[in-house]
């Protein structure tokens, strides 16, 4: 179980700034928050050590890279024991961006990005539905993503 860590107002401001732009210089944040760059550095390092900040990354624009179809696939497994082998196989499919082990109608719910409906069709037939442990799938195509954000500290 993950331990919740206490953060104060300065930590929260730093996290919000980094969430919006992870490349914001420490000196710029220090000036904004009326503290020294060393204070910002120490706070960030402490939050990394605590696991609050896991990593920083570049967010790619999928549409600019030619990925026009976002979809979600509900997956039903043949047996509960098929979970780990299925996840291992799904992890090898580069178009699978996220996977969730869920309760309810599906055992696994995945997010996929494809270049076109035909590309999605090929992924479904030759990669996902070719996994022996999968009993059935249901595909939901996203028409829009009006809300997209990270959690707030």
Q: Tell me, what's the pLDDT at 1?
A: 46
4-42: pLDDT as tens digits? 778 999 999 999 999 989 999 999 999 999 999 999 999
Looking at per-residue pLDDT, the higher value among 86 and 1 belongs to 86
Contact (Cβ atoms closer than 8 angstroms) between residue 101 and residue 107: yes
Q: Are 15 and 33 in contact (CB under 8 A)?
A: no
Whether the per-residue pLDDT at 52 is higher than 70: the answer is yes
Query: What is the dihedral angle through the alpha carbons of 19, 20, 22, 24, rounded to the nearest 10 degrees?
Result: -130
Q: Which of 69, 62, 65, 59 is nearest to 123 (CA)?
A: 69
Tell the CATH topology of 69-142: Alpha-Beta Plaits (3.30.70)
Angle CA 118–123–124, to nearest 5: 95
| pLDDT score of 3 more than 90 | no
Asked whether residue 2 carries a pLDDT value surpassing 70, the answer given is no
- To the nearest 10°, report the CA torsion of 31, 34, 39, 43: -90
Dihedral sign from CA coordinates of 9, 15, 18, 20: negative
Per-domain boundaries in the chain: 9-49, 69-142
What is the arithmetic mean of pLDDT over 59-66?
A: 94
Segment 66-109, tens digit of pLDDT: 999 999 999 999 999 999 999 999 999 999 999 999 999 999 99
**pLDDT tens, residue by residue, 106-150:** 999 999 999 999 999 999 999 999 999 999 999 999 999 999 888
Domain 9-49 carries which CATH code? 1.10.10.10
Measured between alpha carbons, how far is 45 from 59 in angstroms, rounded to an integer? Answer: 22
Distances (CA, A) of 139 to 75, 95, 116: 9, 14, 14
């Amino acid at each position: 179980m993950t331990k919740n860590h206490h953060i104060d107002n300065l930590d929260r401001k730093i996290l919000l700034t980094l969430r919006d732009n992870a490349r914001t210089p420490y000196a710029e944040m220090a000036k904004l928050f009326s503290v020294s760059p060393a204070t910002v550095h120490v706070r960030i390092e402490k939050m990394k050590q605590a696991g609050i900040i896991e990593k920083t990354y570049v967010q790619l624009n999928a549409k600019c890279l030619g990925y026009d179809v976002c979809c979600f696939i509900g997956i039903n497994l043949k047996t509960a024991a098929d979970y780990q082998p299925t996840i291992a196989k799904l992890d090898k499919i580069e178009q699978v961006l996220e996977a969730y082990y869920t309760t309810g109608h599906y055992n696994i719910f995945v997010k996929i990005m494809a270049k076109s409906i035909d590309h999605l069709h090929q992924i479904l037939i030759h990669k996902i539905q070719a996994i022996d442990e999968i009993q059935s799938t249901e595909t939901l195509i996203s028409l829009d993503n009006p809300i997209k954000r990270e959690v707030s500290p």
